Amino acid sequence: MRNNRSRLAMAGGLLSLALVATACSGGFGGNAGNGGGGGGGDSGSGSTNDGGGTSGVTIDVIAVNLPAQEDLVAMTAEHFTPATGITVNFTLLPENDVRAKITQEFSSQAGVYDVATLSNYEIPFYADNGWVVPIDDYLAQDSDFEPEDMLPSMMASMTGSDGKTYGMPFEGQSSFTMYRKSVFDELGLTMPSNPTWDEVAELAATIDEQTDMDGICLRGLPGWGQQLAPLNTVINTFGGTWFDENWDAQLTSPETVEAVEFYVNLIQEHGEPGAAQAGFVECLNRFMQGDAAIWVDATNAGGPVEAADSPIAGDIGYAQSPVKLTDASGWLWTWAWGIQAASTEQDAAWQFVSWASSREYEELIAEKYDWSRVPYGKRQSTFDNPAFQEGAPFYEAAMEAITSVDAENPGVQPRPYPGVQFVGIPEFISLGTTVSEYIASAIAGSTSVQEALEAAQVAAQEVGDKYKNK
Amino acid sequence: MSAFTMTTGRGSPRRSPRGAARRSVVTGVAAWVAALVFVAPILWMVLTALHSETDAASNPPAIFAPLTLDGFRAFFGGSGISPWPPLLNSLTASVLSVLLVLVLAFPAAFALSIRPVEKWRDVMFFFLTTKMLPIVAALLPLYLFAKTVGALDNIFMLAVFYTVMNIPIAVWMLQSFLTEVPRELMEAAQLDGARVLTILRRVILPVASPGIAATALICFIFSWNDLLFARVLTGTIANTAPVFLTGFVSSQGLFLATVSAGALAVSLPVIAVGVAAQDRLVQGLTFGAVK
């Protein structure tokens, strides 16, 4: 009996070992991942293939799952892979998830992904940590790419502290004011092309009183990339800041308090109901369904509101982001590409990046869909293109907003960090999210702005103290 | 899952409630209400999956909006990425880990019930303690381990992790099922000259098969539904269906119908297995393995 038992145990053990041993490299992703776009390298028509032995190579790309990046997946299988022989596998995840995954991947230099969507928030400190490779050499060699066409404000946000370029913008955005022309005409109102916040608040109040619509929609949803993006532009133009030059937190300074009180009051009095849960998507829906007359948000909202299936297409006026003490207050954001330092296929990765950020790619999108769907905001030539100007009525306001941003000095005082609508330090993800939660409870009315900011000030000063000693 | 902890000891035969309680209207109504409460979110998901994105997002909800299959179309290739590789990955990892779990846990359970080793209670407790550490606490070491051995984004590595994750549960379940196999049956077989392997095959397996089926299904569901491990340890090649599903949640557009359709499609295999094994499962999950 005993003998039999141990034999049985051994057989079981061996079987499991055999099963584990079959664990070679595995999974069913691979080529099938991009919807059957065959990876055959017919480099005959390869205009983007500059001959370095990259045909037949596979690269892995992790990207945020926004519409422009989703278009890119299909276009890559359709155009890029047949032309270059480079197979591209994509992972698309929601913004917060993708950010967590990219941080994990790049901080450990795991080398699973070759390319990731990084923003101007991440690029500077990713660069200083040595997680992404500089692309200056590629830019110098690749004459087809026309780097001089890229908008200077965008490229400036892609540099590390050593002055090298570490990222390539795919789409760029600022913020601006959108309003319903028919509503303004009916009530005899006019939106100045460079409005002040006081003017916008007054317009919102009038519309709120005289129609069923909300006067304005502004983001209240907690999250450093949600509520804090527009709110920080308000803080900047009201004369506030997160930190002064000595890394002393300024969230309870009179200017910051005034700005946040203005923002919270405006939402509570003339904004959307349930504002503490409303982010970009909710405001987009309310604006498109005629529930809100004014919307101050990202310039890339212009695409969906002017799209063919939008019920309000053609009825939207565009003005600059409202100001108070500064000349402009729009934010600066770009989803860009970064190539991981641990990547073994950096040449192929650059070929992909340079194709995705090229003029050629924008034209392919315009051809297949229309110009309002193009990932714009990175190249001057797009704004100068008459076809784009016609297909994207928001182009003029968007161009002015993007080009008038001063990302180093967006407020009235010097500050020790880069960024308009964010504080360009790694700690801001958690600090910003915490602070936005305090402010959301002020928006929901369960606490006062003053109390929320006092709690926020404590959290911010803890982070500031770390930098004081550096 | 508190059912796992119900029987631990020497398997004192539990009294069958059959016939004891008279069916009353009250319990009938209560059962239906409870069933409705549990099934309502799923029905809502089905309905949402069959609506257009705009109807799915409307508030108040548009219950009687026209039905469409757009959500399913978007899930099965609308975004340009096919869902089949992730689904196949999920299937590979789940099936493989269930096989491994059974192969490893059955002998362990055997040694803890039918022929208990010394201090078998301590062994059982040891198995339980491995579940007391939150999985997330083990995640970073596992990630670094997988990275060092070059097994990131590898579905077989994931299957091994799922196996490790499920073995304690499987041992506990199988142990309680095997404990309930009547001694008399085995003794009778022994008297007839049957050896351990024969007893296992001809006596224990048939009697304990509902329990084994229930254990296998529970382990399958845990592996199939896992998001945490899969999201951290896989990339483009070995990503599983739940990870793929999260990719439809967007911060710039409507996604409720597509995600509902996807969630439905991803749960179907588990539901199918459950329905196919329904009789044995009910036996097994109610711990009435041997009655």
| Whole-number pLDDT of residue A250 | 95
186-225 in chain B: CB under 8 A from chain A:
195-197, 200
Higher pLDDT, A346 or A370: A346
pLDDT over 60 at B253, yes or no: yes
Does residue B171 carry a pLDDT above 50? yes
Tokens of B253: 């557009």
Q: How far apart are CA A428 and CA A184, in angstroms?
A: 39
- The Cα B170–Cα A70 span in angstroms is 41
Strands A333-339 and A316-320: unpaired
Which chain A residue has the Cα nearest residue B231?
Answer: A101
pLDDT digits (tens, 9 = 90+) for B12-55: 444 545 555 566 889 999 999 999 999 999 999 999 999 988 78
User: B181 in contact with A at a CB cutoff of 8 Å?
Assistant: no
ipTM: 0.71
Q: Who's near B134: CB < 8 A, 6+ residues apart?
A: none
DSSP structure class, residue A300: G
CA A345 remoteness from chain centre: 26
Put simply, the answer to whether A110 touches B147 (Cβ < 8 Å) is yes
**Distance (Å, whole) CA B173 – CA B284:** 9
Does the distance separating the beta carbons of B238 and A27 come in below 8 Å? yes
Measured between CA atoms, how close is B60 to chain A, in angstroms? 14
- DSSP bridge pairs for A171: A335
Mean pLDDT of B140-150: 91
Tokens encoding A304? 């969906």
Distance from CA of A265 to the nearest CA of B (A): 25
Which residue ranges make up each domain of chain A? 51-166+333-387, 175-332+405-468
A242 or B71, which is more confident: A242
CA separation for the pair A225, A439 (Å, rounded)? 14
Q: Taking CB atoms and an 8 Å limit, are B239 and A112 in contact across chains?
A: no
The distance of A253 to chain B (nearest Cα, Å) reads 32
Burial of B245-269, coded b for 16+ CB within 10 Å and e otherwise, reads bbbbbbbbbbbbbbbbbbbbbbbeb
CA distances from A345 to A52, A111, A170, A360 (A): 11, 10, 20, 23
How many CA atoms within 13 Å lie on the side-chain side of B148? 6
Would you say A18 and A12 are in contact if contact means Cβ atoms under 8 Å apart?
A: no
Smallest CA–CA distance, residue B72 to chain A, in Å, is 16
Nearest 5 degrees, angle CA B120-CA B124-CA B128?
165
pLDDT (tens digit, 9 = 90+) per residue, B127-139?
999 888 888 898 9
Residues 122-161 of B with CB under 8 A from A: 143-144, 147, 151-157, 159-160
Q: Which tokens hold the place of A119? A: 């923003």
- Look at residue A319 and give its three-state secondary structure: strand
Tell me, what's the pLDDT at A6? Answer: 46
Amino acid at A135: I
Are A89 and B104 an interchain contact pair (Cβ–Cβ within 8 Å)? no
A51-166+333-387 and A175-332+405-468 share one fold = yes
DSSP conformational letter for A176: E
Whether the CB of B95 is below 8 Å from some CB of chain A: the reply is: no
**Of A439, A414, A412, A405, residue with least CA distance to A237:** A412
Distance from CA of B45 to the nearest CA of A (A): 20
Smallest Cβ–Cβ distance between B154 and the set A25, A73, A304 belongs to: A25
Per the CB < 8 Å rule, is A32 touching B160? no
Do A12 and B104 count as a contact with CB atoms less than 8 A apart?
yes
Distance of CA B195 to the CA centre of its chain: 33
Nearest CA distance, B2 vs chain A (angstrom): 29
B36 touches chain A (CB under 8 A): no
Structure confidence by residue, pLDDT tens digits, A15-39? 343 333 333 334 555 433 333 333 3
**Which amino acid, B166?**
N
Q: Which residues of B touch A112 (CB under 8 A)?
A: 152-153, 235-236
Contact A60, B236 (CB under 8 A): yes
User: Quick one: pLDDT at residue A24?
Assistant: 39
Does the structure show a pLDDT above 60 at B5?
A: no
The least confident of A200-204, A388-392, B84-88, B113-117 is B113-117
Candidate from B82, B99, B251 with C-beta closest to A19: B99
Q: Give contacts of B245 with chain A, Cβ < 8 Å.
A: none
Task: Measure B33 CA to nearest chain A CA, in Å.
Answer: 32
* Chain B neighbors of A67, CB-CB under 8 A: 250, 252-253
Out of B92, B103, B143, name the one closest to residue A12 (CB): B103
Instruction: Provide the pLDDT for residue A49.
Output: 41
**pLDDT at residue A437 greater than cutoff 50:** yes
The residue written with tokens 């584990």 in the block is: A20
Assign A52 a pLDDT band (cuts: 50, 70, 90): low
Distance CA B97, CA B109 (A): 17
Q: What is the pTM of this model?
A: 0.78
Helices (H), A211-279: 228-237, 254-270
**Contact residues, chain B, for A284 at CB < 8 Å:** 252
With contacts defined as CB-CB under 8 Å, which chain B residues touch A105? 235
Q: Indicate if the pLDDT at residue B6 is higher than 70.
A: no
Q: Which residue has better confidence, B2 or A304?
A: A304
Predicted confidence at residue A10, as pLDDT, reads 43
3-state secondary structure of A454: helix
pLDDT digits (tens, 9 = 90+) for A270-305: 999 989 989 888 899 899 989 999 999 999 899 889
**pLDDT tens digits, one per residue of A187-234:** 999 999 999 999 999 999 999 999 999 999 999 999 888 999 999 999
Architecture of the domain spanning A175-332+405-468: 3-Layer(aba) Sandwich (3.40)
Condensed to tens digits (0 to 9), the pLDDT of residues B189-213 reads: 888 888 888 888 888 888 888 889 8
Taking CB atoms and an 8 Å limit, are A23 and B144 in contact across chains? no
Question: Which residues in chain A are closer than 8 Å to B89, comparing Cβ atoms?
Answer: 27-29
Q: What is the dihedral of CA A445, A447, A450, A452, to 10 degrees?
A: -110
Cβ of B237 within 8 Å of Cβ of A8? The answer is: no
**Helix orientation angle between A359-368 and A67-75, rounded to the nearest 10 degrees:** 90
CB contact B89 to A (< 8 Å): yes
The residues, ordered by sequence, that sit 6+ positions from A134 with a Cβ below 8 Å of its Cβ are A127, A160, A164, A165, A166
A 10 A CB-CB count for A180 gives 22
Q: Which of A25, A94, A98, A24 is nearest to A62 (CA)?
A: A98
Cis peptide before B85 (omega within 30 of 0): no
Kindly report the three-state secondary structure assignment for every residue of B21-75. Answer: CCCCHHHHHHHHHHHHHHHHHHHHHHHHHCCCHHHHHCCCCCCCCCCCCHHHHHH
Shortest CA gap A151–chain B (Å):
24
Q: Assign a CATH topology to domain B83-251+260-285.
A: MetI-like fold (1.10.3720)
Q: Tally A–B CB contacts below 8 A.
A: 163
**CATH topology for the A51-166+333-387 domain:** D-Maltodextrin-Binding Protein; domain 2 (3.40.190)
